[in-house]
Protein backbone atom coordinates (compact mmCIF):
# COMPACT_ATOMS: atom_id res chain seq x y z
CA UNK A 1 0.00 0.00 0.00
CA UNK A 2 3.02 2.20 -0.23
CA UNK A 3 1.84 3.29 -3.63
CA UNK A 4 -1.42 4.65 -2.29
CA UNK A 5 0.44 6.66 0.31
CA UNK A 6 2.54 8.13 -2.44
CA UNK A 7 -0.63 8.79 -4.36
CA UNK A 8 -2.03 10.77 -1.47
CA UNK A 9 1.08 12.92 -1.21
CA UNK A 10 1.06 13.39 -4.95
CA UNK A 11 -2.54 14.41 -5.12
CA UNK A 12 -2.06 16.89 -2.34
CA UNK A 13 0.74 18.38 -4.36
CA UNK A 14 -1.44 18.52 -7.45
CA UNK A 15 -4.15 20.35 -5.59
CA UNK A 16 -1.58 22.80 -4.28
CA UNK A 17 -0.17 23.07 -7.76
CA UNK A 18 -3.55 23.81 -9.28
CA UNK A 19 -4.14 26.41 -6.60
CA UNK A 20 -0.75 27.89 -7.33
CA UNK A 21 -1.57 27.91 -11.02
CA UNK A 22 -4.81 29.73 -10.27
CA UNK A 23 -2.91 32.35 -8.30
CA UNK A 24 -0.27 32.43 -10.97
CA UNK A 25 -2.74 33.34 -13.63
CA UNK A 26 -3.89 36.39 -11.78
CA UNK A 27 -0.32 37.47 -11.40
CA UNK A 28 0.20 37.03 -15.08
CA UNK A 29 -2.57 39.42 -15.90
CA UNK A 30 -0.58 42.34 -14.89
CA UNK A 31 2.35 41.22 -16.92
CA UNK A 32 0.25 41.43 -20.00
CA UNK A 33 -0.98 44.79 -19.11
CA UNK A 34 2.31 45.83 -17.73
CA UNK A 35 1.32 49.31 -16.92
CA UNK A 36 -1.50 49.00 -14.60
CA UNK A 37 -2.26 49.52 -11.02
CA UNK A 38 -3.54 46.58 -9.05
CA UNK A 39 -6.68 46.47 -7.04
CA UNK A 40 -7.66 50.06 -7.38
CA UNK A 41 -9.30 50.48 -10.72
CA UNK A 42 -12.25 52.75 -10.80
CA UNK A 43 -15.51 50.97 -11.21
CA UNK A 44 -18.82 51.76 -12.76
CA UNK A 45 -20.04 52.52 -9.24
CA UNK A 46 -18.20 55.80 -9.37
CA UNK A 47 -19.65 56.66 -12.74
CA UNK A 48 -19.96 60.30 -13.38
CA UNK A 49 -19.18 61.31 -9.84
CA UNK A 50 -15.46 61.33 -10.27
CA UNK A 51 -14.13 64.72 -9.37
CA UNK A 52 -11.66 66.14 -11.78
CA UNK A 53 -11.38 63.03 -13.90
CA UNK A 54 -10.05 63.55 -17.36
CA UNK A 55 -12.48 63.31 -20.19
CA UNK A 56 -12.13 61.98 -23.65
CA UNK A 57 -14.27 64.49 -25.37
CA UNK A 58 -17.54 66.05 -24.40
CA UNK A 59 -20.04 65.31 -27.11
CA UNK A 60 -23.55 65.50 -25.73
CA UNK A 61 -25.03 62.08 -25.20
CA UNK A 62 -21.68 60.47 -24.45
CA UNK A 63 -21.65 57.79 -21.82
CA UNK A 64 -19.78 58.31 -18.62
CA UNK A 65 -18.30 55.63 -16.45
CA UNK A 66 -15.52 55.40 -13.91
CA UNK A 67 -14.67 59.04 -14.28
CA UNK A 68 -14.25 58.75 -18.02
CA UNK A 69 -16.48 60.28 -20.61
CA UNK A 70 -17.03 58.19 -23.69
CA UNK A 71 -18.19 59.22 -27.09
CA UNK A 72 -15.84 62.09 -27.90
CA UNK A 73 -14.39 62.68 -31.33
CA UNK A 74 -12.97 59.50 -32.80
CA UNK A 75 -9.21 59.56 -33.40
CA UNK A 76 -8.35 60.01 -37.09
CA UNK A 77 -6.77 56.56 -37.36
CA UNK A 78 -10.25 55.08 -37.61
CA UNK A 79 -10.73 56.88 -40.90
CA UNK A 80 -13.68 59.02 -39.76
CA UNK A 81 -16.48 56.55 -40.50
CA UNK A 82 -19.89 58.14 -40.88
CA UNK A 83 -22.35 55.26 -40.47
CA UNK A 84 -24.43 54.55 -37.40
CA UNK A 85 -23.88 51.67 -35.01
CA UNK A 86 -26.48 48.94 -35.49
CA UNK A 87 -28.22 48.22 -32.20
CA UNK A 88 -27.69 44.61 -31.15
CA UNK A 89 -24.60 44.10 -33.28
CA UNK A 90 -21.99 41.98 -31.57
CA UNK A 91 -18.59 43.03 -30.32
CA UNK A 92 -16.12 40.64 -28.74
CA UNK A 93 -13.56 41.22 -26.02
CA UNK A 94 -10.78 38.67 -25.49
CA UNK A 95 -9.33 39.34 -22.07
CA UNK A 96 -6.00 38.02 -21.06
CA UNK A 97 -5.51 35.98 -17.91
CA UNK A 98 -7.14 37.76 -15.00
CA UNK A 99 -10.05 39.05 -17.00
CA UNK A 100 -12.84 41.12 -15.60
CA UNK A 101 -12.27 41.98 -11.97
CA UNK A 102 -8.48 41.92 -12.16
CA UNK A 103 -8.60 45.48 -10.84
CA UNK A 104 -6.32 46.73 -13.59
CA UNK A 105 -6.01 46.70 -17.30
CA UNK A 106 -8.60 44.07 -18.24
CA UNK A 107 -11.04 45.92 -16.01
CA UNK A 108 -10.36 49.13 -17.85
CA UNK A 109 -11.20 47.43 -21.14
CA UNK A 110 -14.30 46.02 -19.46
CA UNK A 111 -15.41 49.54 -18.51
CA UNK A 112 -15.15 50.51 -22.17
CA UNK A 113 -17.13 47.43 -23.16
CA UNK A 114 -19.83 48.19 -20.60
CA UNK A 115 -20.05 51.76 -21.82
CA UNK A 116 -20.42 50.52 -25.39
CA UNK A 117 -23.19 48.20 -24.27
CA UNK A 118 -25.21 50.94 -22.59
CA UNK A 119 -24.17 53.81 -24.82
CA UNK A 120 -24.24 52.16 -28.25
CA UNK A 121 -26.65 49.31 -27.61
CA UNK A 122 -24.26 46.65 -28.87
CA UNK A 123 -24.08 43.13 -27.48
CA UNK A 124 -20.78 42.27 -25.85
CA UNK A 125 -19.33 38.76 -25.90
CA UNK A 126 -16.45 38.25 -23.53
CA UNK A 127 -13.98 35.41 -23.28
CA UNK A 128 -11.16 35.29 -20.83
CA UNK A 129 -7.91 33.38 -21.26
CA UNK A 130 -7.26 31.06 -18.34
CA UNK A 131 -3.88 30.09 -19.71
CA UNK A 132 -1.81 31.09 -22.70
CA UNK A 133 -3.35 28.14 -24.55
CA UNK A 134 -6.74 29.85 -24.50
CA UNK A 135 -5.79 32.95 -26.47
CA UNK A 136 -6.01 31.42 -29.92
CA UNK A 137 -9.23 29.43 -29.33
CA UNK A 138 -10.91 32.44 -27.71
CA UNK A 139 -10.17 34.68 -30.67
CA UNK A 140 -11.32 31.92 -33.01
CA UNK A 141 -14.54 31.39 -31.07
CA UNK A 142 -15.38 35.09 -31.13
CA UNK A 143 -14.55 35.27 -34.84
CA UNK A 144 -16.82 32.32 -35.53
CA UNK A 145 -19.54 33.86 -33.39
CA UNK A 146 -19.88 36.84 -35.72
CA UNK A 147 -18.42 39.41 -33.36
CA UNK A 148 -17.04 42.52 -35.02
CA UNK A 149 -14.84 44.12 -33.86
CA UNK A 150 -12.92 41.79 -31.59
CA UNK A 151 -10.53 43.40 -29.16
CA UNK A 152 -7.57 41.48 -27.79
CA UNK A 153 -6.56 42.94 -24.47
CA UNK A 154 -2.78 42.86 -24.25
CA UNK A 155 0.24 42.32 -26.45
CA UNK A 156 0.55 38.64 -25.58
CA UNK A 157 -2.24 38.05 -28.10
CA UNK A 158 0.02 39.19 -30.94
CA UNK A 159 1.14 35.84 -32.39
CA UNK A 160 -2.34 34.35 -32.29
CA UNK A 161 -4.06 37.49 -33.51
CA UNK A 162 -1.86 37.66 -36.61
CA UNK A 163 -2.92 34.15 -37.63
CA UNK A 164 -6.60 34.65 -36.88
CA UNK A 165 -6.91 38.11 -38.42
CA UNK A 166 -5.38 36.75 -41.62
CA UNK A 167 -7.91 33.90 -41.65
CA UNK A 168 -10.88 36.26 -41.09
CA UNK A 169 -10.23 39.22 -43.39
CA UNK A 170 -13.79 40.59 -43.03
CA UNK A 171 -13.60 40.92 -39.25
CA UNK A 172 -11.92 43.92 -37.64
CA UNK A 173 -9.63 43.40 -34.69
CA UNK A 174 -8.06 45.60 -32.07
CA UNK A 175 -5.03 44.85 -29.94
CA UNK A 176 -4.17 46.87 -26.87
CA UNK A 177 -0.60 48.02 -26.22
CA UNK A 178 0.96 46.47 -29.28
CA UNK A 179 1.82 47.11 -32.89
CA UNK A 180 2.01 43.70 -34.57
CA UNK A 181 4.69 43.49 -37.28
CA UNK A 182 3.66 43.69 -40.92
CA UNK A 183 0.83 45.44 -42.71
CA UNK A 184 -2.37 44.27 -41.14
CA UNK A 185 -5.41 45.44 -43.04
CA UNK A 186 -7.91 44.49 -40.36
CA UNK A 187 -6.07 45.21 -37.12
CA UNK A 188 -6.23 48.40 -35.11
CA UNK A 189 -3.18 48.74 -32.88
CA UNK A 190 -4.34 50.56 -29.78
CA UNK A 191 -1.24 52.05 -28.22
CA UNK A 192 -0.77 54.69 -25.57
CA UNK A 193 1.73 57.47 -25.34
CA UNK A 194 2.46 56.58 -21.74
CA UNK A 195 5.64 58.65 -21.97
CA UNK A 196 3.57 61.80 -22.57
CA UNK A 197 1.34 61.23 -19.58
CA UNK A 198 4.38 60.29 -17.54
CA UNK A 199 6.09 63.53 -18.61
CA UNK A 200 3.31 65.50 -16.96
CA UNK A 201 3.40 63.55 -13.70
CA UNK A 202 7.20 63.83 -13.79
CA UNK A 203 6.87 67.60 -14.08
CA UNK A 204 4.33 67.55 -11.25
CA UNK A 205 6.76 65.53 -9.13
CA UNK A 206 9.59 67.99 -9.73
CA UNK A 207 7.36 71.01 -9.10
CA UNK A 208 6.11 69.55 -5.82
CA UNK A 209 9.42 68.13 -4.60
CA UNK A 210 11.02 70.24 -1.89
CA UNK A 211 14.18 68.15 -1.68
CA UNK A 212 14.90 67.98 -5.42
CA UNK A 213 15.03 64.20 -5.03
CA UNK A 214 12.38 61.89 -6.53
CA UNK A 215 12.04 58.23 -7.55
CA UNK A 216 10.64 55.79 -10.10
CA UNK A 217 9.70 52.16 -9.43
CA UNK A 218 9.06 49.95 -12.47
CA UNK A 219 7.53 46.48 -12.58
CA UNK A 220 9.25 44.22 -15.09
CA UNK A 221 12.35 45.58 -16.77
CA UNK A 222 10.74 45.75 -20.22
CA UNK A 223 10.38 48.34 -22.99
CA UNK A 224 6.77 49.03 -22.14
CA UNK A 225 7.80 50.27 -18.70
CA UNK A 226 10.98 52.02 -19.89
CA UNK A 227 8.54 54.18 -21.83
CA UNK A 228 6.99 55.39 -18.57
CA UNK A 229 10.35 56.05 -16.98
CA UNK A 230 11.68 57.97 -19.97
CA UNK A 231 8.71 60.33 -19.94
CA UNK A 232 8.86 60.78 -16.19
CA UNK A 233 12.56 61.62 -16.25
CA UNK A 234 12.13 64.08 -19.11
CA UNK A 235 9.24 65.82 -17.37
CA UNK A 236 11.09 66.12 -14.08
CA UNK A 237 14.24 67.42 -15.79
CA UNK A 238 12.25 69.94 -17.80
CA UNK A 239 11.33 71.54 -14.47
CA UNK A 240 14.61 71.06 -12.65
CA UNK A 241 17.61 69.92 -14.64
CA UNK A 242 19.56 69.09 -11.46
CA UNK A 243 16.91 66.89 -9.91
CA UNK A 244 18.04 63.53 -8.50
CA UNK A 245 15.92 60.65 -9.81
CA UNK A 246 16.22 57.22 -8.22
CA UNK A 247 15.14 54.27 -10.38
CA UNK A 248 14.55 50.63 -9.68
CA UNK A 249 12.78 47.72 -11.35
CA UNK A 250 11.15 44.99 -9.29
CA UNK A 251 11.95 42.12 -11.65
CA UNK A 252 13.33 40.94 -14.96
CA UNK A 253 11.18 40.32 -18.03
CA UNK A 254 9.00 37.30 -17.38
CA UNK A 255 9.24 37.59 -13.61
CA UNK A 256 5.51 37.92 -13.10
CA UNK A 257 5.81 38.39 -9.35
CA UNK A 258 7.12 41.88 -10.13
CA UNK A 259 3.54 43.08 -10.65
CA UNK A 260 2.25 41.68 -7.39
CA UNK A 261 4.93 42.49 -4.83
CA UNK A 262 3.79 45.57 -2.90
CA UNK A 263 6.15 44.55 -0.09
CA UNK A 264 9.17 44.93 -2.37
CA UNK A 265 7.99 48.30 -3.65
CA UNK A 266 7.31 49.43 -0.10
CA UNK A 267 10.81 48.48 1.00
CA UNK A 268 12.43 50.37 -1.85
CA UNK A 269 10.15 53.40 -1.45
CA UNK A 270 10.72 53.53 2.31
CA UNK A 271 14.46 53.57 1.72
CA UNK A 272 14.20 56.45 -0.75
CA UNK A 273 11.80 58.47 1.42
CA UNK A 274 14.18 58.04 4.35
CA UNK A 275 17.13 59.23 2.30
CA UNK A 276 15.29 62.40 1.32
CA UNK A 277 13.18 61.64 -1.73
CA UNK A 278 9.68 63.04 -1.44
CA UNK A 279 7.82 61.94 -4.61
CA UNK A 280 7.82 58.41 -6.05
CA UNK A 281 6.04 57.24 -9.21
CA UNK A 282 5.45 53.54 -9.69
CA UNK A 283 4.50 51.80 -12.92
CA UNK A 284 4.48 48.35 -11.41
CA UNK A 285 0.97 46.93 -11.39
CA UNK A 286 -0.34 45.90 -7.99
CA UNK A 287 3.09 46.48 -6.47
CA UNK A 288 2.45 50.23 -6.66
CA UNK A 289 0.22 49.98 -3.60
CA UNK A 290 3.37 49.40 -1.58
CA UNK A 291 4.70 52.79 -2.65
CA UNK A 292 1.52 54.50 -1.49
CA UNK A 293 1.71 52.69 1.86
CA UNK A 294 5.34 53.71 2.23
CA UNK A 295 4.35 57.35 1.62
CA UNK A 296 1.65 57.08 4.28
CA UNK A 297 4.15 55.63 6.73
CA UNK A 298 6.76 58.25 5.87
CA UNK A 299 4.34 61.01 6.86
CA UNK A 300 3.43 64.49 5.64
CA UNK A 301 5.14 65.88 2.59
CA UNK A 302 5.84 62.43 1.09
CA UNK A 303 3.94 61.69 -2.10
CA UNK A 304 3.18 58.72 -4.33
CA UNK A 305 2.01 58.96 -7.95
CA UNK A 306 -0.48 56.39 -9.24
CA UNK A 307 -0.64 54.82 -12.68
CA UNK A 308 -3.23 53.73 -15.23
CA UNK A 309 -6.42 54.54 -13.34
CA UNK A 310 -7.02 57.52 -11.08
CA UNK A 311 -5.94 55.75 -7.94
CA UNK A 312 -7.20 58.48 -5.63
CA UNK A 313 -10.74 57.39 -6.36
CA UNK A 314 -10.28 53.93 -4.90
CA UNK A 315 -7.71 54.62 -2.18
CA UNK A 316 -8.39 54.72 1.56
CA UNK A 317 -8.72 58.17 3.17
CA UNK A 318 -5.27 57.80 4.74
CA UNK A 319 -3.75 56.93 1.34
CA UNK A 320 -5.60 59.72 -0.44
CA UNK A 321 -3.59 62.32 1.49
CA UNK A 322 -0.45 61.00 -0.18
CA UNK A 323 -1.56 60.46 -3.77
CA UNK A 324 -0.30 63.51 -5.61
CA UNK A 325 -1.79 62.54 -8.96
CA UNK A 326 -2.05 59.53 -11.27
CA UNK A 327 -0.94 58.94 -14.84
CA UNK A 328 -4.20 57.82 -16.43
CA UNK A 329 -4.21 55.53 -19.44
CA UNK A 330 -7.61 55.22 -21.10
CA UNK A 331 -7.82 51.62 -22.27
CA UNK A 332 -11.55 52.03 -21.71
CA UNK A 333 -11.78 54.84 -24.26
CA UNK A 334 -9.69 52.88 -26.76
CA UNK A 335 -12.01 49.90 -26.38
CA UNK A 336 -15.15 51.98 -26.69
CA UNK A 337 -13.86 53.93 -29.66
CA UNK A 338 -12.86 50.80 -31.54
CA UNK A 339 -16.31 49.30 -31.06
CA UNK A 340 -17.93 52.56 -32.11
CA UNK A 341 -15.70 53.15 -35.12
CA UNK A 342 -16.14 49.64 -36.49
CA UNK A 343 -19.88 49.86 -35.83
CA UNK A 344 -19.88 53.06 -37.86
CA UNK A 345 -18.10 51.36 -40.72
CA UNK A 346 -14.34 51.64 -40.15
CA UNK A 347 -12.72 48.95 -42.27
CA UNK A 348 -9.08 49.89 -42.57
CA UNK A 349 -6.70 48.79 -39.86
CA UNK A 350 -4.23 51.33 -38.52
CA UNK A 351 -2.09 52.25 -35.57
CA UNK A 352 -4.09 54.37 -33.13
CA UNK A 353 -2.00 56.26 -30.66
CA UNK A 354 -3.89 57.46 -27.64
CA UNK A 355 -1.94 60.44 -26.49
CA UNK A 356 -2.32 63.77 -24.75
CA UNK A 357 -3.68 65.23 -27.96
CA UNK A 358 -6.78 63.06 -27.89
CA UNK A 359 -6.97 62.69 -24.11
CA UNK A 360 -6.00 59.04 -24.38
CA UNK A 361 -3.55 59.60 -21.56
CA UNK A 362 -3.43 62.33 -18.95
CA UNK A 363 -2.96 63.18 -15.31
CA UNK A 364 -5.58 63.02 -12.58
CA UNK A 365 -6.48 66.03 -10.46
CA UNK A 366 -8.48 64.30 -7.74
CA UNK A 367 -7.62 65.55 -4.27
CA UNK A 368 -6.69 68.96 -5.59
CA UNK A 369 -2.99 68.57 -4.75
CA UNK A 370 -1.85 69.68 -8.18
CA UNK A 371 -4.34 72.54 -8.51
CA UNK A 372 -1.65 75.14 -7.80
CA UNK A 373 0.59 73.84 -10.59
CA UNK A 374 -2.20 72.97 -13.02
CA UNK A 375 -1.47 75.98 -15.21
CA UNK A 376 2.17 74.91 -15.60
CA UNK A 377 1.25 71.29 -16.31
CA UNK A 378 -1.31 72.34 -18.89
CA UNK A 379 1.39 74.52 -20.43
CA UNK A 380 3.64 71.48 -20.84
CA UNK A 381 0.68 69.56 -22.17
CA UNK A 382 0.04 72.19 -24.82
CA UNK A 383 3.74 72.20 -25.75
CA UNK A 384 3.77 68.43 -26.14
CA UNK A 385 0.63 68.47 -28.25
CA UNK A 386 2.00 71.25 -30.46
CA UNK A 387 5.27 69.38 -30.85
CA UNK A 388 7.34 72.03 -29.12
CA UNK A 389 8.40 69.43 -26.60
CA UNK A 390 9.24 65.97 -27.90
CA UNK A 391 9.04 63.38 -25.15
CA UNK A 392 11.58 60.54 -25.42
CA UNK A 393 10.12 57.04 -25.59
CA UNK A 394 13.02 55.08 -24.11
Partner 1 sequence: MDRQKLQRIGVTAASSVAAVLFALVICGIILLLTGRSPSHVYQTMWDAAGERRIQYDAIQRATPLMFAGCAVALGFKMNLFNIGVEGQYRIAALVTAIVGTRIGFLPAPLHVAVELAVACICGAAWAGIAAFMKVRRGVNEVIATIMLNAIAISLAAWLFNTYFRYTQGNSQNVTTRPIPRSGWMPDIVKDQLNGFFIVALLVVFAYWIVVFKSRFGFRLRASGHNDVAAKTSGISSKRMIVTALLLSGAVAGFIGMQQTLGDSHAYSSQGFVDGIGFLGIAVALLGRNHPIGIVLSALLFGLLAASATKLGLIKVPQEIVQIIEGVIVLSVVIVNEASGRWVDKRTQQRAAHAVEHHLTQQGVTA
Cα–Cα separations (whole angstroms), residue 195 to 164, 229, 333, 391: 31, 7, 18, 7
Q: Is 123 in the site for partner 1 (CB under 8 A)?
A: no
Q: Is 15 in the site for partner 1 (CB under 8 A)?
A: yes
Cα–Cα separations (whole angstroms), residue 9 to 6, 12, 17, 22, 293: 5, 5, 12, 20, 40
CB nearer to partner 1: pick between 10 and 45: 10
C-beta separation of 334 from 108 below 8 A: no
Task: Kindly state the DSSP code that residue 74 receives in the 8-state scheme.
Answer: P
Least distance to partner 1 from the beta carbon of 152, Å? 12
Q: Which of residues 301-360 bind partner 1 (CB under 8 A)?
A: 351
Q: Is 14 in the site for partner 1 (CB under 8 A)?
A: yes
Question: Directed axis angle between helix 2-33 and helix 105-120, to 10°?
Answer: 60
Q: Is 24 in the site for partner 1 (CB under 8 A)?
A: yes
CB nearer to partner 1: pick between 221 and 383: 221
Q: Which of residues 219-238 bind partner 1 (CB under 8 A)?
A: 221-224
Binding characters for partner 1, 43-62, by CB under 8 A (x = yes): --------------------
Least distance to partner 1 from the beta carbon of 351, Å? 8
Q: Which of residues 134-173 bind partner 1 (CB under 8 A)?
A: 134, 136-138, 140-141, 144-145, 155-156, 158-159, 163, 167
Give yes or no for a cis peptide into 149 (omega within 30° of 0): yes
CA distance 222 to 392: 16
Task: Kindly state the DSSP code that residue 42 receives in the 8-state scheme.
Answer: -
Closest to 205 (Cα-Cα) out of 226, 233, 224, 242: 233
Contact window for partner 1 (CB under 8 A) among 47-55, 121-129, 195-203, 268-276 = 121-129
CA distance 9 to 365: 54
CA distance 289 to 50: 20
Least distance to partner 1 from the beta carbon of 367, Å? 32
What backbone phi and psi angles, to 5 degrees, belong to 309?
A: -105, 165
Task: By CB under 8 A, name the one of 102, 107, 177, 196 that touches partner 1.
Answer: 177
Q: Which of residues 84-113 bind partner 1 (CB under 8 A)?
A: none
Q: For the stretch 195-205, what's the b/e string if a residue is b when 16 or more beta carbons lie within 10 angstroms of its beta carbon? A: bbbbbbbbbbb
User: Where do contacts with partner 1 occur on this chain (CB under 8 A)?
Assistant: 1-4, 6-11, 13-15, 17-18, 20-22, 24, 31-32, 34, 125-128, 130-134, 136-138, 140-141, 144-145, 155-156, 158-159, 163, 167, 177-181, 189, 191, 221-224, 251-256, 351
Amino acid sequence: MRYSKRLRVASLAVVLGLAAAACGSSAKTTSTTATTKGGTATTAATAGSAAGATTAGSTAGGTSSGGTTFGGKLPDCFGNPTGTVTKGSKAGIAYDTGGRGDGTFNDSAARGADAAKTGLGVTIDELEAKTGDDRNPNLTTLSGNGDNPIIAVGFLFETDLLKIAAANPKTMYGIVDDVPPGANANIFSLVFAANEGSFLVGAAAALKSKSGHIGFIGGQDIDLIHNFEAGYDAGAKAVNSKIIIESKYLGAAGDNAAWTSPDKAKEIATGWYTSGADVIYSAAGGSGNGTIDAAVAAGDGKWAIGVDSDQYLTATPAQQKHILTSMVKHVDVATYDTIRAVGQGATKGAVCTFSLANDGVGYATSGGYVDDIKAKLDGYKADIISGKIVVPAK
